[in-house]
């Protein structure tokens, strides 16, 4: 089962630096929990202010991160990047709205799995936390 999952998700493991640099145990633990999630251009994946129960890794495509009223664009994220981590890490509502710019091939990770796994991999956890803090600082500046 694990071998099949590793084969199927080979692409995302290679593309996401967070996975590529992580050790094999981490990959083994997380891989069976990733859910494939395809979105169409213009789809809302996350809405600012909502409660966050998952995060997403981009295997293909790109998304834009905008303010709740959509008047400010904070970032465009693409292949290999992730989003939706802030609500999980900061224990806060979604900080921004995330909308697809094209067809995207995403991987979804639920909060329960995130919490369970990250507690065992402090290195990975601190990488995600650092990025969340950086992104928060950028939003607060704007």
Beta strands in the chain (DSSP E): 35-39, 44-46, 54-60, 62-66, 73-78, 82-83, 97-100, 104-110
Angle between helices 24-31 and 111-118 (to 10 degrees): 160
Identify the residue among 16, 39, 65, 104 touching ligand CMP (CB under 6 A).
65
Q: Which of 131, 100, 97, 133 is nearest to 16 (CA)?
A: 131
d(CA 129, CA 64): 21
18 scored as a contact of ligand CMP (CB under 6 A) = no
d(CA 85, CA 25): 21
Identify the residue among 19, 26, 57, 74 touching ligand CMP (CB under 6 A).
74
57 scored as a contact of ligand CMP (CB under 6 A) = no
Min dist CB 46 to ligand CMP, Å, is: 5
Span 79-118, contacts to ligand CMP by CB under 6 A: 83-87, 94-96, 98
Min dist CB 6 to ligand CMP, Å, is: 26
Q: Which two tokens stand for residue 138?
A: 């950028």
Min dist CB 2 to ligand CMP, Å, is: 28
Min dist CB 5 to ligand CMP, Å, is: 25
135 scored as a contact of ligand CMP (CB under 6 A) = yes
**Chain center to CA of 20:** 15
User: Which residues here bind ligand CMP, judged by CB under 6 A?
Assistant: 46, 52, 65, 74-75, 83-87, 94-96, 98, 135, 138-139
């Amino acid at each position: 089962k694990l071998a099949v999952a590793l084969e199927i998700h080979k692409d995302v493991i290679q593309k996401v630096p967070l996975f590529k640099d992580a050790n094999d145990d981490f990959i083994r633990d997380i891989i069976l929990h990733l859910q494939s999630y395809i979105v169409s251009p213009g789809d809302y994946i996350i809405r600012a202010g909502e409660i966050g129960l998952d995060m997403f890794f981009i295997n293909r495509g790109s998304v834009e991160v905008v303010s709740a009223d959509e008047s400010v664009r904070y970032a465009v994220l693409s292949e290999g990047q992730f989003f939706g981590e802030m609500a999980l890490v900061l224990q806060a509502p979604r900080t921004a709205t995330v909308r697809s710019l094209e067809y995207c091939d995403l991987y979804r990770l639920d909060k329960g799995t995130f919490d369970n796994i990250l507690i065992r991999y402090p290195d990975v956890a601190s990488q995600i936390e650092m990025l969340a803090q950086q992104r928060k600082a950028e939003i607060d500046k704007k």
